[in-house]
Structure 1
């Protein structure tokens, strides 16, 4: 099952075999005005049956925002930062995804200092903590150190004693103790950026691309989450073009899947790439969604090394805000196991064959249950706007 909360643009991790977390762009354009979608709804998409279900969320509901950073940890979803009607925030909220109540709770930290307000940042989850990186936001003049290159001022947006800009700061949040800390990192840190993509493999957090001042990059960096040491990875093959508002998803012990984004020349893209962190090589992936460019979408790992992409926009939203999307795209990154191939084939074939449907009770019980569930996905009248290769 795919859990969707309409609060931001970036990806995270599998909670169980069928339960995954996603975040989506939170506003749409109505009559040339930006309108935030309901902030008290969470949507669940059953990847097997192809059906949606909405739940209304009580509790300390967050304000309507876009550009927040979301992740899942121990069955809970945490959202941090984002931009509301009053600008960027540095609040953190939590909801339990396992009890079926979906009640929001605002977290007040007990130890440390929260990062400055920001949006379009990213996060990694490691050993019970959430590690946040980068983003675009604002600081007071007294908090800006011109000698420290962890914050680059956006001269065009700064007013008075408030400075907006990009950062490459690393902050950690420990939900168990409601504490913030800022580890001392080593090595050469990536340039301050926002709208980049991130993913975790083992003890290492990876970031790729993003907007660095007035350009969009294609560099890839790694942070060792034990030693807090940065290293840049120099690809041994041709790399994707620079971009922002894309996604990066871990699909194996050494593989990352990149999809879409906005190019340097502001072109929405639909290309998919696999990066091998061991050989440091990029490989472009053929897929059936070349005509479906996406930016500011979300992505997460699914079943059998699939990557599920949801929402986002097919237009450069700062110029043309008419292309918001609500379809789910399923990318196959590895060959499917025989069991899944059999289930999909039988379920699809039985839809159009009465004799075959009558023979289904002859199947082994485990296979029969899987086929009956999967048949719902292939019923046109019940299938939502989603596609599977």
Structure 2
């Protein structure tokens, strides 16, 4: 597959990821960026690398397989394009709209920014109404002329599970008041919209739990449900990426802070059946958190395009996949009684929206008492409560472990303090002994001075005695000679 060929896509095998050869310099590797395909170009905005937020705008031409940096200009001289991570981006007309994300911006509410794809001018859209709190790791889905925002994590690390709607025609925010049990608060999940009516939320995480559950919000009745996923077992994950093509929702990557998810999943949204499309090897860039996946239409055929991510190493590779067209002649949604029971309300909604493509039991026109829906709702609520209890227990277990660690550290510090106190007492006793010895030495030193004076006196006395003795001896000698003469004269 040569870099100069514009027909690289024609030689791809189905359902297999392939790394594209890239001409020229690549953008810096990153994760938690935002990506959108427009006019056969993959646009990458912002992201994070080594704890630093990025503010660049990159474009990858899917025809000649080359990167280019988009130099954006602002509508106001005082305004600069922010460095941001964990944000969402959608294409609306000839603009890219960026919502949310974490940055050094001190704004308390979600900011809506735009990049004009023709002029490369960027700016801020002034939205009114009930503007949601600033957050990152949320999901944003386009339904007609409205953006549906769910969940995320605010600047104080508070997790959310609220739903907000931005009308792009009036630039007005509204809070959606839903019924039934919503998903547990989370961030770094993924979302998709089916039949312009159903918002699907999959996976994500709290600060201690990774999820693999599916929640569905009926955008007409505003009712949450938690249908049971059919098909392959799926491991919990967050930081994964998803993109929908017709009835199929493709989910790539993610992880649980220990290992990356190796499988690429596809969910048939009309049947809520999930299957593994392909697997990659461990430490593959596609088994990363914070990667992006988009879809591009080339010569009438859809392709998946993945970029970036982090799994111990940041990636800046571009991967493509040619998904195999799915056979539509399959059993319809909720053929399993268990699945139908777990999502009775969603089943009824699907029946109203797409009765020609879904097969359900014919309903009797006569009114009759049927408690199955209420029972199933209670079962769903019970399951949600059990999940919440499990999460609380896990959080409690984690807190108990931290408490035990703190207690252990306290015991060690207490023992060390006791040891230090013992050493201090010993040193104090030693200091007292040294002070006593110094006092004794000082006394001895002062007594030595008087002794030295006495010695000096004794030396002087000794010298005087010796002098007197010498004089006496001399006199005695002289006296002895004179006495003889006188005796001679007298004699």
Q: TM-score, normalised by structure 2?
A: 0.54
Alignment partner of 2:83: what SS? coil
The 1:5/1:314 distance shift into structure 2, 3 A limit, reads closer
1:80-134 CA distances to partner (integer Å, 9 max, x unpaired)?
221123678522211122x2x211111222x312111211101110121111110
Matched-pair contact (CA < 8 Å) for 2:59–2:67: yes
Alignment partner of 2:309: what SS? coil
Give the Cα–Cα distance (whole angstroms) in 2 for the partners of residues 80 and 326 of structure 1.
23
1:192 matched to 2:185? The reply is yes
1:85 matched to 2:101? The reply is no
Task: Tell me how large the CA RMSD over aligned residues is.
Answer: 2.8
The one of 272, 282, 304 equivalent to 1:280 is 272
For residue 129 of structure 2, what is the aligned residue in structure 1? Answer: 112
Matched-pair contact (CA < 8 Å) for 2:136–2:152: yes
1 or 2 for the larger relative contact order (CA 8 Å, sep ≥6)? 1
More helix as a share of residues? 2
The 1:260/1:71 distance shift into structure 2, 3 A limit, reads same
Give the Cα–Cα distance (whole angstroms) in 2 for the partners of residues 11 and 228 of structure 1.
28
Alignment partner of 1:268: what SS? coil
Matched-pair contact (CA < 8 Å) for 2:34–2:87: no
The one of 88, 100, 115 equivalent to 1:69 is 88
Give the Cα–Cα distance (whole angstroms) in 2 for the partners of residues 7 and 311 of structure 1.
6
The 1:10/1:84 distance shift into structure 2, 3 A limit, reads closer
For residue 57 of structure 1, what is the aligned residue in structure 2? Answer: 72
The 1:10/1:65 distance shift into structure 2, 3 A limit, reads closer
Post-superposition shift, 1:180?
0.9
The 1:6/1:96 distance shift into structure 2, 3 A limit, reads farther
Post-superposition shift, 1:7?
9.7
Post-superposition shift, 1:259?
0.9
The one of 132, 136, 149 equivalent to 1:132 is 149
Give the Cα–Cα distance (whole angstroms) in 1 for the partners of residues 184 and 88 of structure 2.
19
More strand as a share of residues? 1
For residue 260 of structure 2, what is the aligned residue in structure 1? Answer: 268
The 1:246/1:208 distance shift into structure 2, 3 A limit, reads same
Alignment partner of 1:194: what SS? coil
Post-superposition shift, 1:239?
2.6
The one of 200, 203, 217 equivalent to 1:206 is 200
For residue 170 of structure 1, what is the aligned residue in structure 2? Answer: 163
1:153-197 CA distances to partner (integer Å, 9 max, x unpaired)?
xxxxxxxxxx54111111111232221111222332111110111
Rg comparison, structure with higher value = 2
Matched-pair contact (CA < 8 Å) for 1:23–1:298: no
The 1:10/1:132 distance shift into structure 2, 3 A limit, reads farther
1:32-73 CA distances to partner (integer Å, 9 max, x unpaired)?
xx3333x2x322111121111212001043321211122222
Matched-pair contact (CA < 8 Å) for 1:21–1:300: no
The one of 305, 310, 321 equivalent to 1:313 is 310
Matched-pair contact (CA < 8 Å) for 2:29–2:314: no
Matched length: 290
For residue 245 of structure 1, what is the aligned residue in structure 2? Answer: 239
1:285-330 CA distances to partner (integer Å, 9 max, x unpaired)?
1256763322101111123232111112122xxxxxxx11111111
The 1:6/1:230 distance shift into structure 2, 3 A limit, reads farther
Alignment partner of 1:266: what SS? coil
Gap runs ≥5 in structure 1? 139-162, 316-322, 337-389
Matched-pair contact (CA < 8 Å) for 2:36–2:89: no
Alignment partner of 1:285: what SS? strand
Matched-pair contact (CA < 8 Å) for 2:48–2:85: yes
For residue 326 of structure 1, what is the aligned residue in structure 2? Answer: 316
The 1:228/1:15 distance shift into structure 2, 3 A limit, reads farther
